[in-house]
Structure 1
Amino acid sequence: MLYKKMAVSLALGLALLVNSLFAFPAQAAVIEDLQQVATVLAPATYQELAARVNNYTRIYRVEEGDTLERIARRYQADPELVAVMNYLEPDAVLTPGQFLVLPHEEERSYTVAAGDTLWDIARRFGTSVESLAAANGIVDARRLRIGMVLTIPGSPRGVPVTRVEPLPASRSLRPVSFLWPLIGAITSGFGWRDNEFHHGLDIAGKVGDYIQAAWSGVVTFSGWGNGIYGNMVKLDHGNGLETVYAHNSRNLVKVGEYVRAGEPIAEVGGTGNATGPHVHFEIREKGKAINPERFLKR
């Protein structure tokens, strides 16, 4: 009996020792210090994880009951993006103690200028009006004042998760609704314009306004296109579908990055052959430009 009690005590003692060495505090699911992870991972695994950590990511320790969907909802991220960032399938089963890399964005400040609305500012910084108002204690959006310094919420981001259906495998795009890359007046439509054919839509905006991805996809080009398109971004959405965003003042993404629908990818400009600030937006199916207005959400 004595030996049995001693064995139980020893087992409990070892369990407590292991927990004290390798467990993190209950509220430390998001880990700020990379060295905390180094003590519990094999060197090769740690190096691979560390290589994916930068100013725009954070490490998350999986807890009991976590799923990619729940984690993404908690931190207002796209579950597909979280899966891709961690080389996982969207329905992957997670293990408590497993480490994931999550998207992260620092808090920023913005000074309200003439003509600004809360909706404009939220759209420009890729956040929601609700999150922006809550972060600044704004009850009445009509009381926004010029010179007011607003806090733009960081991670977890205030961007509502955009739920999009997978692109259909068939050639027909009719069931698909793309997001508008920019909310503004259409200054030039798709089709013949004087003696030339215009392959997309020109949507007017202000220099610096965010241009958002019309659908989730992979960046296949980001840079100077030519003297006509100027700075441009191309996204591959699979099934032979591609979107193009041109005349940008600044591109925010790099080739090879996965972006989700609604994520800012560039800023409005007038580079290339442009008469004013706008985005030239194209939808291409197997290399052929098609009329974007048929597939944009109304």
Structure 2
Amino acid sequence: MFLRRTVVGVSVVLLALFAASLGGPAAQAAVVEDLQQVAAAVAPAEYAELAARVNSFTRLYQVEEGDTITGIARNFRINRELLAAMNDLEVEAVLSPGQFLVLPYEPERTYEVVQGDTLWEVARAFGLSVAEIMAANGITNPRTLQVGTVLTLPEDPVRREDKAVMRPVSRSRLTSFLWPLIGAITSGFGWRNQEFHHGLDIAAEEGATIRAAREGTVAFSGWRNGIYGRTVILDHGDGYRTVYAHNRDNLVTAGEFVDAGEAIALVGSSGRATGPHLHFEIWKQDQTVNPLRLLGGMPDK
């Protein structure tokens, strides 16, 4: 049984599907059909900030009496530290009824099967059961998994709010990345107004330390352009690259090898940035991917 939840979003259809995917009828969720309706409940500046953060990978939630960060995270099956960080709050922060929170949301997870994978390994890596993956993909024989098959991964019905970092499937291309910076996520991956935002914007104080999300070689360190500003790019040697932009100072030079978690830059606002933050991207071959798919749980500040 899930608690009643108040969700605000741009698309009624998407929100209805979101509520239904959590296990309860969509009619039980108090859905606001138009984000403009939120304008009557908050100051113009707050409304503009909220509207800018709503995209395909976020939802707005209106706090109800008795809500807590931990309780909301449990109900929506998301990491509580991530939820707190996205809203610049502590996990134990006292919430006020009517307050709006930004929730992370991923409509669908998929995984492409590679040589050596088994259904049992994939299920274990994503915290699912073999039966759940079979049901979601119409598989009748778990031993006939074919290379190149794209599996739809359902949400884990027993996900804990403190679920560990995703474990990689042996011999596969699954991987995980460390958070390069701990702070409020001010913009997610996806369409933002008329532009596609290729990464996460993570706010922090000027001069905060940015760390390598994985070990790799520094492919670029310097002024990239008027948009990205001072940037570091790491090549991880397996088709993945990470980009760290808007830096005040870069602490590494091209050709260096860095370990995961090593300091590589300091937070700034170089390039096209409205304030100090890190713009973080993950590239797989020649395409950006949503960092939230590969980042582990947000650690404590």
Question: TM-score, normalized by length of structure 1?
Answer: 0.47
- Is the radius of gyration larger for structure 1 or structure 2? 1
Question: TM-score, normalized by length of structure 2?
Answer: 0.47
